Each structure stands twice: as C-alpha cells, then as structure tokens.
Amino acid sequence: MQPINLFEYEELAKNHLSQMALDYYSSGAGDEITLRDNRAAFERLKLRPRMLVDVSDRNLSTTILGQPLALPLLIAPMAFQCLAHPEGEIATAKAAAAAGVGMVLSTLATKTIEQVAEIRQHFPDALQWFQLYIHKDRSLTRTLVERAYNAGYKALCLTVDAPMLGRRERDQRNEFSLPPGLHAANLATISGLDIPHAQGESGLFTYFAQQLNPALTWDDLAWLQSICPLPLVIKGILRGDDAIRAVECGVKAIVVSNHGGRQLDSAIASLDALAEIVTAVDGKAEILMDGGIRRGTDILKALALGAKAVLIGRPILWGLAVAGKAGASHVISLLQDELSLAMALSGCAKLEDIDSSLVKSAEK
C-alpha cells in the first residue's frame, strides 16, 4: 500500500536502507535534543484560521531570487543520496524539476555537478542551486564554484554552520564510510578526495577535520563573491545579528537552519529562530528555513512567520529509498496537497494571504 504521509515513508524506508545509511540519514548530534525540537517547535505553534473566505481556487506559486516555483519548496542539500537509491541526486533532481520546486545540490553529492545539471535539458526552468563547503584548499573550492557556474546553477548556497562536523554518535559507533563504488563525486573528479574509513570514528567527521576550513569568517564572503557572479545564499543562520551582518555582506537569501539538528546540539529550533531573523532583515534579503517540516501545515506556519519558502531534507531520502524518483515525487506531491488544503482551511487563497495573524504560540 502506498504511503499517505511523510511519516509512513520514513517507516517504510527503514526496510530499504542499511543500518549505517539509516543512522547516517536520520541521526542528529549529541543527545539529539535539537533534532527532536525541530519537530516539536511546529507542534507548539498553533493555527488561527480565518472563516468565510473564497478559497475555491488556490495559488501556491512564488518566486525565489526572481525564479518561479510551483510551490514554496526546495530540496535541501543532502550528501550521499546514492546510499538511498542508485540514481541518487539525479532522481531527486528529476522529481524536483517535474514538480516545479527547487533543488540544492550538495558539495558531497554522489552524482556530479554536471550530471545533475543535465536535467535542465528536459526542464529548462528548473531551479538548481549549488551548496558549497569551503575547503582549506582554495583552488579546490574555486574549481567547484566555477563548475557550478558553468553548468548553469542559479545561486551558491554557502553552509556556514559547519566549521567542524557535529558529533553524531550513531555515525561514530558505525564507523560511517561509503560502501565500495560510492564516492563524493565532485571531489573525486578534482583531487581524488574521498571519505576515509577511520577506526572508531565517523569517516565524515575525519574528512571535515582534515579538509574543511574552520577559520572561515565574514571577510571570506567577499572572496567568494569575487570569483563568481551568482547570488550568494548562506545557510545555517540562527541569530538576528548574524542575519544583519549577512545582508551587509551582500547576501541575497538566508536559510534559517540548524543543519537538521546535526551540528550544535541544544541549538534553537529553526522555526523558533525564524521570526527574529525576518524582523532583523526587514525585507533586505529573502528568508527561507528548514528543519522538522513534515506536513503542509508546517509549511503554512513557516510562511506565516515570514519565510518565503522552506527546504525539506530527510523525507526526500525516505521517498528515494522506498521508490526512487517516484517516491521523491510522491513526497513532494503529498506536501503540495497538504499545503493547499491547509491554506483552504485557514482562509488563504494565495501565499500572500498568509501572515503572522494565523499563528499563535501554545504558551501564550
């Protein structure tokens, strides 16, 4: 029987993934407090629907950085998607493009920048961004950026919350590494870098410690912008003062994110950080958010607090694991249908009707 919500996809995915892959995808850092709180934050926030509004026709479309989307949704950057399905990021890109939603390709993808970009031959309007980790080797980073630009990606999405990798204890216990035949495809084509097998340690944790630059500062954003004309998006902001600094540095969009609870445990839930950042930015950059979204009502709540769009991560992996591209497509379709229904029941015919009056904290 086909799943009817994202939680059912998660349960089914457990039957299709190795224990190492399942733990890698689903785990958070430390005691996984933030991982759980990302979800709980949506449950704490209640809706205040409007009545007697004509919602016979609903319009879910929007634009992000000037590019149209069929609904306010992007696929978050996620590494190693071929652990879920042999087509990995290519299946995700096809599902996203067919649905008219965006996709952010991870630096640590198991398909190359160019392979994923080829999807636009069939979907020329597909929104594709490239997520970037800045390595200690600046020439390697420059090469990645140039490849993304030449392949037609529409923005660079710099992850700023990972100067070091969070301690994910399930990965440490499993000594996480990629199985034979899988590689970080974009790095292998540049320098032969790969995720090592480390005794008693996560191979990804070791990779970050060896290769990524923990000395990254705001000043480095100017260097990044100097080597590429694409708009810069930064992902991983949780404070209003950091958001203001980002705007001052020329950032065009901000993803409010705690990395799915995988970096600093006990960090604030993304949803709880959202309103402060929206207020601080005051329309000078577009605000997106990720973390814990599993229902159309979750998207509605995020939009009510000021997000222009949201990103989803793990549910796409569950869809891939269960049924490849068809599974990922169905996950997107479920969210689209749920958002449309939530808008109707809240008295919102279009996204512009969604505002902060629709939500109320349970504590108030």
Cβ distance 336 to 60 under 8 Å? yes
Q: Which residues are catalytic?
A: 259
Tokens of 289: 């958010």
Q: Which helix (H) or strand (E) holds 68?
A: strand 67-69
User: How does strand 156-159 pair with strand 128-132?
Assistant: parallel
Tokens of 329: 């497509």
d(CA 331, CA 95) in angstroms, rounded, equals 10
- Only one residue has tokens 């301690």, namely 167
Tokens of 259: 């990395």
Tell me if residue 162 falls in helix, strand or coil: coil
Q: Which of 206, 170, 198, 184 is nearest to 17 (CA)?
A: 170
Cβ distance 334 to 6 under 8 Å? yes
Instruction: Give, as one character, the DSSP assignment of residue 201.
Output: B
Q: Which are the contacts of 193, defined by CB distance < 8 A and separation ≥ 6?
A: 140, 184, 187, 207, 211
d(CA 290, CA 319) in angstroms, rounded, equals 18
Max CA pair span of the chain: 63
Cβ distance 140 to 190 under 8 Å? yes
- Count of CA atoms in the C-beta half-sphere (13 A) of 80: 20
End-to-end CA separation in angstroms for the chain: 41
- Only one residue has tokens 């994202």, namely 6
Distances (CA, A) of 145 to 115, 131, 213, 229: 15, 9, 16, 10
